[in-house]
């Protein structure tokens, strides 16, 4: 199996806080991976490092063998926790924007998904609800044919029906060579679609294992195990 992401003893410090502490992780292609940890555990910091938005203080990271940079941005599709698309854009503008930016963007796929959600491409983002905007952003990100998808809290702000739609979008759109990292603390909602779970606590890797192996060994759900590991 070929490796898509390799983190080697990563550390990232913000002032006196260690956001990542000697963090090592190796992910293979073709997996859906849950990056699971409470608030402030380092999930977003890791994802930002993968996307070259933050630089680690120590340690190394490679994506498909390359250090984060222009070449990796070509193959990494990133859904940040906050939307960065300007409000004045129409949905169709955002599609053109992505098409301009990314070679691997599949316009047809994006329009198909918009259509299935009954979303009018001529609407301006300003006129959409928060949840709908999140859906548009996810559609854009999932319409790329990337090697690594980093979804930072993709289901946080949407209702349960939309959540199902989003998970469905993730299941039906990824291909066997791509890996998807989903960061969240809403574990019960996503655990059935995961291959592997990564637990992160105070910047440290606590656990990295296949989800079915965890259930077989522990006899409990990932959600239950999470509550035990992270009991306050």
Partner 1 sequence: MQWELNTEKPVYLQLVEQIQAKIIAGVYKPGDKLPSVRDLAAQAMVNPNTMQRAMTELERDGLVHTNRTAGRFITSDEELIRQLKEKYITEIVRDFLDKMKQLGLGRDDIISYLNKLTENSN
Q: How many residues bind to partner 1 according to rule CB under 8 A?
A: 25
- x-marked contacts with partner 1 along 1-40 as a string, rule CB under 8 A: -----------------------------xxx--------
Can you tell me which of 104, 107, 120, 212 binds partner 1, judged by CB under 8 A? 212
What three-state secondary structure class fits 185? coil
228 binds partner 1 (CB under 8 A): no
Non-local (6+) Cβ contacts of 151 within 8 A are: 79, 138, 141, 170, 180, 181, 182, 183
Segment interacting with partner 1 (CB under 8 A) among 102-110, 120-128, 149-157, 185-193? 185-193
192 binds partner 1 (CB under 8 A): yes
114 binds partner 1 (CB under 8 A): no
Dist. CA 146–CA 175, nearest whole Å:
9
Q: Which residue has the tokens 């080697």?
A: 8
**What tokens does 148 get?**
């690594």
Beta carbon of residue 100, minimum distance to partner 1 (angstroms, whole number): 30
134 binds partner 1 (CB under 8 A): no
**56-92 burial, b for 16+ CB within 10 Å, e for fewer?**
beebebebbeeebeeebbbbbbbbbeeeebeeebbbb
Can you tell me which of 191, 197, 199, 203 binds partner 1, judged by CB under 8 A? 191
**What tokens does 34 get?**
């849950």
Binding site for partner 1 (CB under 8 A): 30-32, 164, 167-168, 171-172, 188, 191-195, 211-213, 215-216, 219-224
């Amino acid at each position: 199996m070929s490796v898509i992401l390799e983190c080697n003893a990563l550390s990232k410090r913000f002032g006196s806080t260690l956001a990542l502490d000697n963090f090592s992780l190796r992910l293979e292609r073709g997996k859906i991976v849950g990056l699971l940890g409470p608030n402030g555990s380092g999930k977003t910091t890791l994802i930002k490092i993968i996307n070259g938005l933050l630089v680690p203080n120590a340690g190394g990271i490679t994506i498909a063998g390359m250090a984060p940079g222009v070449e990796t941005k070509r193959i990494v599709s990133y859904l940040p926790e906050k939307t960065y698309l300007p409000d004045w854009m129409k949905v169709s503008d955002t599609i053109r924007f992505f098409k301009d930016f990314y070679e691997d963007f599949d316009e047809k796929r994006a329009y198909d998904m918009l259509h299935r959600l009954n979303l009018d491409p001529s609407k301006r983002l300003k006129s959409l609800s928060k949840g709908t905007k999140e859906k548009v952003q996810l559609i854009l990100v999932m319409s790329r044919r990337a090697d690594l998808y980093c979804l930072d809290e993709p289901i946080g702000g949407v209702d349960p029906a939309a959540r199902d739609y989003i998970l469905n979008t993730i299941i039906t759109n990824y291909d066997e060579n791509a890996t998807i990292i989903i960061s969240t603390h809403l574990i019960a909602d996503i655990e059935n679609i995961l291959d592997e779970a990564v637990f992160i606590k105070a910047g440290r890797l606590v656990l990295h294992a296949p989800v079915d192996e965890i259930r077989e060994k522990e006899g409990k759900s990932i959600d239950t195990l999470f509550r035990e590991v992270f009991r306050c």
